[in-house]
């Protein structure tokens, strides 16, 4: 697991209204694809959209579920299952354990924010929700 730090430097990624419950959305944060998930309890999770097993940017198209009390996402490619809170792969389908990068999400009103990359200026960190 790689947890991106929750710093004061954040960027608005989208409105909460751009997200559907238990459906992923991909957002472009600079050059990084991030998969966003709005859960039934109102929490928003952000993980890398890059499936570490297939190398394809498809995690946002995965199936949301749970393992115990852990919210999960199953890759649509080879069905590995990842904990949305930690990025840890909880079902490797017999492969070596790999993980997704996780971003700390902050919501303020209807806006969803992620930590910005310190190497980019806020003008260069243009993001858009990909549909």
Tell me, what's the pLDDT at 118? 31
DSSP-derived secondary structure for 8-70: S-EEEEEEGGG-BBTBEEEEEETTEEEEEEE-TTS-EEEEESB-TTT--B-GGGSEEEEETTE
Tell me, what's the pLDDT at 49? 98
Question: What does DSSP say about strands 44-48 and 32-38: parallel, antiparallel, or unpaired?
Answer: antiparallel
Tell me, what's the pLDDT at 116? 82
Element holding 113 (H helix, E strand): strand 111-115
Average pLDDT per block of 10 residues along the chain, 131 residues long: 58 96 94 96 97 98 97 97 98 96 96 72 36 38
Tell me, what's the pLDDT at 29? 87
pTM of the model: 0.82
């Amino acid at each position: 697991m790689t947890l991106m730090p929750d710093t004061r430097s954040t960027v608005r990624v989208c409105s909460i209204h751009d997200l559907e419950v238990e459906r992923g959305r991909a957002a472009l944060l600079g050059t990084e694809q991030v998969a966003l998930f709005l859960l039934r309890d109102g929490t928003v999770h952000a993980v890398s959209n890059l499936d570490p097993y297939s190398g394809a940017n498809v995690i946002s198209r995965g199936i949301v579920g749970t393992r115990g009390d852990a919210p999960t996402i199953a890759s649509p490619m080879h069905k590995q299952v990842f904990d949305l809170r930690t990025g840890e792969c909880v079902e490797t389908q017999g492969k070596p354990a790999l993980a997704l990068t996780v971003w700390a999400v902050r919501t303020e009103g209807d806006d969803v924010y992620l930590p910005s990359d310190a190497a980019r200026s806020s003008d260069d960190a243009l993001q858009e929700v990909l549909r």
